[in-house]
Structure 1
Amino acid sequence: MSNWLLPENLADVLPMEARQIEDLRHRLLDLYRKYGFELVCPPLVEYIDSLLSGTGSDLNLRTCKLIDQLSGKTMGIRADMTPQISRIDAHLLNRSGVTRLCYCGNVFHARPTDSLSSREFLQIGAEIYGHAGVEADLEIIQMALDTVNAAGINLPILDLSHPGVVRSILELDHNASSNSDLVVSLLREKDVTGISELTKKFIRPDTIKMLQSVCSLYGNVDDVMLNARKILPSVPGIISALDSLQILIDALLPNVQLSIDLADVWGYGYHSGVKFALYADGWREVLVTGGRYDNVSLAFGRARPATGFSLNLRSLASGLKLAKSKAILAPWGRDHVLLETIRDLRKKGEIVVQILPGDYPDQDEFLFDRRLVLFEGIWQVSYIS
């Protein structure tokens, strides 16, 4: 094996893309700061007991583990930063009121989600702690919409769901609740045939019928909400979930393109309330995922309502058009006036590249549209025709 080959599903980020990622990172963190979110930077590695507290089995399978040579304890390379942010809010900041936190950092997955996915992500996101009302969910969703708009993506599609619907159905049937992992896997694939075979697990026929009905409850928000209230039982958990969704729908329409999927069980063991995903035409993958997860911080000794979102910044940037930065060419020299002129241009925000002796720059990242020339004893910027 050549010593310059990388492990599978890992890749270097080259200059133009790296600059695009950094520009977008700066733009988004500045946006979150304007909303009043404070930046935190947790470590890349920490003890596994803390890193996986309050999360489901999916995150455990995605986490690479290693032994700390100092303590002998098992550590993990984070696969998701959200549990770390919850730990900071609950255990370190320990505020009584609402806390708004944002973050950006690398995460690593033990296995790729598919053959085309990378195992390393640059995760950026924002979380609100301390408010259980739908107002916090609405603020987070608006920030997620502003995030994709800041990246230049217009007319995103917002898909809403609520795990409380499926959870309430399962709670009505002990055998269904005992086989929740199997049920969730079938709902994830909308496998109506597989759901019908749940009779082998002694799940009641009425429960199976409700689960099959949930598989069809996706698409247009008005139709789905109307049919859900007709088809599903009027138990408190389902009513509460549908009411929460309706409040968001009323607040977001008609300014946002909405869809709904009540069989979306992504993050079922993690999310406690409204969850959402953002899509856009021409994009293979989901752009942003988020939702409410009130139960996570209990593992850190302090239960706090929580809602937030995150996205893979590298994936988002890679789908955008790469743009070269305009730059000025300057000759090599140590002339005092030349150096002062270059320094002044850089202070004004211009990119100035001095040509080293015997070289001509051919960087892909820059578009050299101007050059510094000496005209009548004065260094001047001249456009390259």
Structure 2
Amino acid sequence: MHSWLLPENIEDILPPQAWRLEQARRTALDLFASHGYQLIQPPLIQFLESLLTGTGRDMRLITFSLVDQLSGRPLGVRADITPQAARIDAHLLNRQGATRLCYAGSVLHTRPASADESREPFQVGAELFGHAGLEADLEIQRLMLELLARLGLSGVLLALGHVGIFRALARRAQLDEEREADLFQALQMKDVPTLRELTVGLPQEIRTALEVLPNLYGPRAILEEAVRRLPPYPEIGAALDALQTLADALQEQGTELHFDLAELRGYHYHSGVVFAAYVRQCPRAVAQGGRYDGAGKVFGRARSATGFSMDLRGLLPLLPATQPRGAILAPWGGDTALKARIEELRAAGEVVVVELPGQEAFRAESGCDRQLVPGEGGWQVVALRREA
């Protein structure tokens, strides 16, 4: 086997894409900081038990595990930074009010989400802990939409759902864990025939509601249809009211909205509104998130929480192309005036590459389009002359 081969769905990021990724990371963190989100940098690995606790328990199948040679205990390589943020908020910061945290870093998956996706996403995200109101959900959603706009993505559609609707029906029907899991899977697949089979024997009102859920998707009018077709349970009414409130606020800023009441992404840890952003150039969500109240309970404090994350690495093909920035080629030498001119140009934001001796034949690889040459008034920047 060739020593330079990498595992499947693991790739290098080469110039200039690596720089584009770094620019996107800086854009995200600058935006988060301007909204009061504080940067955290959790470790890449930690004890497997704590990594798969709480919001992380759905990560078991995609989390790499190994044995710590110091303690003998199993370690996990993080597959998602959100559970780590919940641990930091609950166990380390221990603040009483709203806490805003953000992060940016690589995660690792045992298997890709799809055949063309990397197993090493670069995840950026923001989490808001300690506020149970819709104001927090709205802040997070607006923050996500603003980031997508700053990254140059247009035509964004925001899809909204609420796991509380299915959870209310499952609780009223007193489903056992296995049947609830089967119904969950059928709803995710929008498999109505299987739903009909799985709902046999349930109260007719609940059976009808579960069978109609896969069809409750579309524009805002679907919420009014849901009021008519779903049982008038208080929990369902509260969920639909929450979606109406968010729709009012988001439509004021011109956001294109879509609703899917059978969307149960992250059902096992999400507790309320869930959302995902889509663009026309990509069949899968480019960013996603939701509310996960109770986060941190296993770390000693149950806290309200909502947040979002996205994979910047996966976004690279969608980001607008940027014109490569030209650089200035400077000759090698100890001339004091030359050194001063180079520092002056770099301080002004220019990229200056000093040409090492014997490299004249490779100027085309330098990325330079100009060069420094001596003139009557000192060192001047002119168009690059390439060696024949």
TM over 0.5: yes
* Aligned residue identity for 2:264: V
Is 1:311 matched up with 2:313? no
Q: Distance in 1 between matches of 2:55 and 2:258?
A: 27
Deviations 1:273-312 (A, max 9, x none): 1111011111233111011001221111101100000000
Q: CA RMSD in A?
A: 1.7
Q: Distance in 2 between matches of 1:3 and 1:192?
A: 50
Determine the structure 1 residue equivalent to 2:263: 264
Matches within 5 A, 1:218-297: 218-221=217-220, 223-254=221-252, 255-297=254-296
Sequence identity percentage: 45
Please report how far the alpha carbon of residue 116 of structure 1 lies from its aligned counterpart in structure 2 after TM superposition.
1.1
Determine the structure 2 residue equivalent to 1:147: 147
Is 1:48 matched up with 2:48? yes
Deviates more, 1:203-212 or 1:226-235: 203-212
Distance 1:363 1:232, change over 3 A: farther
Question: Is the contact between residue 52 and residue 59 of structure 2 (CA under 8 Å) also seen in structure 1?
Answer: yes
Deviates more, 1:51-60 or 1:267-276: 51-60
Using the size of structure 1 for normalisation, the TM-score is 0.95
SS of equivalent to 2:227:
helix
Question: Is the contact between residue 175 and residue 203 of structure 1 (CA under 8 Å) also seen in structure 2?
Answer: no
Q: Distance in 2 between matches of 1:333 and 1:49?
A: 58
The runs of 5 or more residues in structure 1 that have no matched partner are none
Count of residue pairs the alignment pairs up: 381
Q: Distance in 2 between matches of 1:244 and 1:377?
A: 69
Using the size of structure 2 for normalisation, the TM-score is 0.94
Q: Distance in 1 between matches of 2:14 and 2:160?
A: 36
Deviates more, 1:115-124 or 1:317-326: 317-326
Q: Distance in 2 between matches of 1:149 and 1:308?
A: 18
Distance 1:150 1:363, change over 3 A: farther
Q: Distance in 1 between matches of 2:61 and 2:120?
A: 15
Please report how far the alpha carbon of residue 68 of structure 1 lies from its aligned counterpart in structure 2 after TM superposition.
0.8
Question: Is the contact between residue 126 and residue 309 of structure 1 (CA under 8 Å) also seen in structure 2?
Answer: yes
Q: Distance in 2 between matches of 1:290 and 1:50?
A: 21
Question: Is the contact between residue 206 and residue 231 of structure 2 (CA under 8 Å) also seen in structure 1?
Answer: no
Q: Distance in 2 between matches of 1:111 and 1:79?
A: 10
The runs of 5 or more residues in structure 2 that have no matched partner are none
Please report how far the alpha carbon of residue 175 of structure 1 lies from its aligned counterpart in structure 2 after TM superposition.
3.2
Q: Distance in 2 between matches of 1:231 and 1:266?
A: 23
Deviates more, 1:238-247 or 1:48-57: 48-57
Determine the structure 2 residue equivalent to 1:213: 212
* Aligned residue identity for 2:134: V
Deviates more, 1:350-359 or 1:14-23: 350-359
Deviations 1:308-336 (A, max 9, x none): 00000111223224431221122222222
Please report how far the alpha carbon of residue 199 of structure 1 lies from its aligned counterpart in structure 2 after TM superposition.
4.6
Deviates more, 1:100-109 or 1:374-383: 374-383
Is 1:163 matched up with 2:163? yes
Q: Distance in 1 between matches of 2:231 and 2:132?
A: 25
Question: Is the contact between residue 169 and residue 206 of structure 2 (CA under 8 Å) also seen in structure 1?
Answer: yes
Please report how far the alpha carbon of residue 172 of structure 1 lies from its aligned counterpart in structure 2 after TM superposition.
1.5
Matches within 5 A, 1:3-42: 3-42=3-42
Q: Distance in 2 between matches of 1:15 and 1:108?
A: 22
SS of equivalent to 2:21:
helix
* Aligned residue identity for 1:209: T
Q: Distance in 1 between matches of 2:365 and 2:46?
A: 39
SS of equivalent to 2:326:
strand
* Aligned residue identity for 1:19: W
Deviations 1:186-228 (A, max 9, x none): 111100111111156x44454332112110000111x210110
Q: Distance in 1 between matches of 2:284 and 2:379?
A: 50
